[in-house]
Structure 1
Amino acid sequence: MASYSLDDIRNAAEAKYGSTDIELGGETVRLLNPLRLTKTARNELTALQERLGDDGADQEELLSEAIRLVAEHTKAADRLLKAVNGDLAVLAEIFDRYGEGTQAGEASASQG
């Protein structure tokens, strides 16, 4: 029977369900994997994603809200959003990369 320390398990979870990190002027903004968010935050993220598909939805506002929701720290999210300066293409690319990083973890979780 195999034996693992809690630190081993935490390290494996970080490797599999790690954050999407964005370098910004010497600091790193960490966007947390949905599995690392609270249940409430995960539900809010799902609701935001559903609203993105609505006709007439304010894409910039919804993507900004999503980034604030998944960022490890609110101040870091605000700095990132200030640097993006409302560029919808950049917001969409950030969210796409975030989605790519989280899909790999979710796929692995569902296989286990």
Structure 2
Amino acid sequence: MAQFSLDDIRAAADAKYGSTDIALDDKTTVVLRNPLRLSKAERDELAALQDNLDGDSDKDQADVLADAIRLVAKDKKVAEKLIDNIDGDLALLAQVFETYSSGTQAGEA
């Protein structure tokens, strides 16, 4: 029978359900946490934000995407730097969120 330590399990979870990291420069990286690493309240909020992206919402898509990035970011101040650098460019916001979403698909049920 194989025996694993909690550290082994933790390392496997980190490898499988890791974050999406976006480097802003040589010193600053935005860490976007995998949905499975969010609290239940955060997952519920993320799902509500994603529902607003379906096109049936009257909310500004750039605002919704920026809110989603803020929500999943490990460090909110660094997330603000990313959002400031994007400067309201909806295509860039959408690409960041698409990159994040495609990196987390394997972890979602």
User: One fold, TM greater than 0.5?
Assistant: yes
Note if 1:92 corresponds to 2:94: yes
Note if 1:9 corresponds to 2:39: no
Q: How does 1:1-112 map to 2 (within 5 A)?
A: 1-26=1-26, 27-53=28-54, 54-106=56-108, 110=109
Other structure's SS at 2:4 match: coil
| Structure 1, gaps ≥5 residues long | none
Other structure's SS at 1:91 match: helix
Q: TM-score, normalised by structure 1?
A: 0.91
Q: State the 4+ residue runs in structure 1 displaced beyond 3 angstroms.
A: none
Give me the whole-angstrom Cα distance separating, in 1, the residues matched to 2:87 and 2:6. 41
Q: Percent same amino acid at aligned positions?
A: 58
What letter corresponds to residue 79 of structure 2 in structure 1? A
Aligned length: 107
Give me the whole-angstrom Cα distance separating, in 1, the residues matched to 2:71 and 2:53. 15
Give me the whole-angstrom Cα distance separating, in 1, the residues matched to 2:105 and 2:64. 20
- What is the root-mean-square deviation of aligned Cα atoms in Å? 1.0
Other structure's SS at 1:30 match: strand
Post-superposition Cα deviations, 1:53-80, rounded to whole Å, max 9, x if no partner, equal 1243310000000000000011010011
| Structure 2, gaps ≥5 residues long | none
What letter corresponds to residue 4 of structure 1 in structure 2? F
Q: TM-score, normalised by structure 2?
A: 0.94
Give me the whole-angstrom Cα distance separating, in 2, the residues matched to 1:39 and 1:56. 26
Give me the whole-angstrom Cα distance separating, in 2, the residues matched to 1:34 and 1:102. 7
Give me the whole-angstrom Cα distance separating, in 2, the residues matched to 1:38 and 1:98. 17
